[in-house]
Amino acid sequence: MTRRAASRRGMPLAGRILAVQVLVIGIGALTLATTALLVAPGLFRYHLSMTGEDAPAVREHAQQAFGNAFMISLTVAMLASLLTAGLVSWFLVGRLVHPVEDLADAVEAIAAGRFDVRVPAAGFSTEVDRLSSAVDSMAERLAATDQTRGRLLADLAHELRTPLATLEAYVDGIEDGVVPAEPASWETMRDQIGRLRRLATDLRDVAAAAEHALVVSPEPLAVGALVATAAAAAAPRYAAKGVQLLQGSDADRATVLGDRARLEQVLANLLDNALRHTPPGGHVVVRAEASAAASRPGTDGSTDAILVSVTDDGDGIPPDQTETIFERFHRQESARSRSDGSGSGLGLTIARALAEAHGGTLTAHSSGPGHGATLRLVLPAALPRPSAAARG
**Domain-located, residue 125:** no
Distance CA 139, CA 72 (A): 58
Using alpha carbons only, what angle is made at residue 329 by residues 328 and 335, rounded to the nearest 5 degrees? Answer: 135
- Amino acid present at 192: Q
- In this prediction, residue 114 carries a pLDDT of 83
Do 252 and 276 belong to one domain?
yes
Per-residue DSSP letters for 178-238? SS--SHHHHHHHHHHHHHHHHHHHHHHHHHHHHTT------EEEEHHHHHHHHHHHHHHHH
If one counts the domains in the chain, the total is: 3
Q: Which of 210, 232, 260 is the last residue of a domain?
A: 210
Distance CA 68, CA 61 (A): 11
Q: Which of 210, 233, 252 is the last residue of a domain?
A: 210
**Domain-located, residue 108:** yes
- In this prediction, residue 280 carries a pLDDT of 93
Do 145 and 246 belong to one domain?
no
- In this prediction, residue 13 carries a pLDDT of 63
**Domain-located, residue 364:** yes
**Domain-located, residue 121:** no
Do 165 and 294 belong to one domain?
no
- For 303, which DSSP code? B
348 burial level (CB within 10 Å; 0-12, 13-18, 19+): buried
Do 199 and 230 belong to one domain?
no
What's the pTM value of the predicted model, to 2 decimals? 0.56
Distance CA 378, CA 322 (A): 16
Domain that holds residue 38: 3-114
**Domain-located, residue 123:** no
Q: What is the pLDDT along the chain (392 residues), one digit of tens a residue?
A: 444 444 445 566 666 777 777 788 778 878 877 887 788 788 877 777 777 777 788 778 887 887 788 788 878 887 887 788 778 777 777 777 777 777 888 888 888 888 888 877 766 667 777 888 888 888 888 887 777 677 767 767 766 777 888 888 889 888 888 888 888 888 888 888 887 887 787 777 777 766 666 677 888 988 888 898 899 988 988 999 999 999 877 766 788 888 888 898 899 889 999 999 999 999 999 998 876 543 333 344 445 888 999 999 988 888 888 888 888 766 555 443 344 445 556 788 888 888 988 889 999 999 888 889 999 999 988 765 544 444 44
Do 250 and 361 belong to one domain?
yes
Distance CA 263, CA 360 (A): 11
Distance CA 234, CA 271 (A): 7
Do 292 and 224 belong to one domain?
yes
359 burial level (CB within 10 Å; 0-12, 13-18, 19+): middle
> Which CATH number goes with the domain that contains 142?
1.10.287.130
**Domain-located, residue 256:** yes
Distance CA 27, CA 123 (A): 31
Distance CA 28, CA 121 (A): 35
The alpha carbon of residue 48 and the mean position of all alpha carbons in its chain are separated, in whole angstroms, by 79
- In this prediction, residue 12 carries a pLDDT of 65
* DSSP H/E element including 159: helix 126-176
Do 39 and 85 belong to one domain?
yes
Distance CA 124, CA 97 (A): 10
Q: How many CB atoms lie within 10 A of CB 20?
A: 12
> Which CATH number goes with the domain that contains 334?
3.30.565.10
Q: Which of 210, 244, 262 is the last residue of a domain?
A: 210
Do 168 and 228 belong to one domain?
no
Do 252 and 188 belong to one domain?
no
Do 103 and 246 belong to one domain?
no
Rg (CA), the chain: 39
Do 232 and 140 belong to one domain?
no
**Domain-located, residue 58:** yes
Long-range contacts of 192-195 (CB under 8 A, 24+ apart): 192/163, 192/164, 192/166, 192/167, 192/341, 193/163, 193/167, 195/163, 195/341, 195/342, 195/344
Do 156 and 225 belong to one domain?
no
- In this prediction, residue 361 carries a pLDDT of 92
Strands, E assignment, 232-327: 244-249, 255-258, 283-290, 305-312
SS3 310: strand
**Domain-located, residue 130:** no
- In this prediction, residue 212 carries a pLDDT of 66
Q: Are 139 and 111 in contact (CB under 8 A)?
A: no
Per-residue DSSP letters for 344-358? -S-HHHHHHHHHHHT
